[in-house]
Amino acid sequence: MEELIKDDECLDDLQNGYMLIQKNNAFKFGVDAVLLADFAEVKRSDQVLEMGTGTGIIPILLHAKKQPASITALEIQADMADMAKRNIKYNKLEEKISILHMDLKEAPETLGRARYDCVVTNPPYVKKEAGINNPEESKAIARFEITCTLQDIVSTSKELLRTGGKLFMVHRADRLVDIIFEMRSQGVEPKRIRFVHSNAGKRPHLILIEGVRGGRPELKFMDPLYIYDSMGEYTEEIHRIYGRIK
């Protein structure tokens, strides 16, 4: 399996039975991917689609935690799609996870409308007009709305989801109004939301949100999630999410 790892890459232990190939100097997954995989209410019978997979981290985490029937993951960058495919091969998950090198906006036409039970995404957080100051393209695409916008994410999700299908997203807390506006405009009703705080004394910096295609209006606010305790250590819930405690 060592031939799957290139000279400029490293291999990280996900501590759930799986490993992850990542570039040494490119975008690496963070706590947001881990939180999203835990937040997503995915059933074993579900057909899942993930948008913007990057290294393939979220499909691997979803499989480890939820074991849905199948996961299809999309990635527009050729080098990242190649890495994701190698990650799936390294972990011997080819029968459960498929990586497709394609623009997510082409997915409804290519893959089929109203086909999926769940869509999961950790999209770029920053509007393009906010200014791009990151010289490395892969990092810029991961952070800024260059190849897709929030509107693209929600409208494409609506087309891909069956009626009653769910969209799960992690995003920046300061984009909440944009997210709810786009979801309701596209007929994906916001149903659950959870604010993520660094600690109890900080304002939320991330949100986890679930929307249902064709759902009735009713938004449930979950308890806030704190990453660190007063001593600067991970909270018990974060340890549970990472699988370090039961």
Question: pLDDT tens digits, residue range 10-53?
Answer: 899 998 999 999 988 766 788 999 999 999 999 999 999 999 99
Residue 22 lies in a domain: no
Residue 18 lies in a domain: no
CA dihedral 147, 152, 154, 156 (to 10 degrees): -100
Residue 178 lies in a domain: yes
Task: List the one residue out of 204, 206, 222 whose CA is nearest residue 170.
Answer: 206
Domain count, the chain: 1
| Model pLDDT for residues 130-184, shown as the tens digit of each residue | 554 454 554 544 444 456 899 999 999 999 999 999 999 999 999 999 999 999 9
- Please enumerate in sequence order all residues whose Cβ is within 8 A of that of 158, keeping only pairs 6 or more positions apart, or say none: 186, 187, 188, 213
What range does the domain containing 215 cover?
30-85+98-241
Residue 9 lies in a domain: no
Q: What is the 3-state secondary structure (H, E, C) of 121-175?
A: ECCCCECHHHCCCCCCHHHHHHHECCCCCHHHHHHHHHHHEEEEEEEEEEEEHHH
- CATH number of 79's domain: 3.40.50.150
Residue 91 lies in a domain: no
Residue 1 lies in a domain: no
Residue 12 lies in a domain: no
Residue 3 lies in a domain: no
Give the integer Cα–Cα distance in Å for 73 and 61: 13
Give the integer Cα–Cα distance in Å for 142 and 77: 10
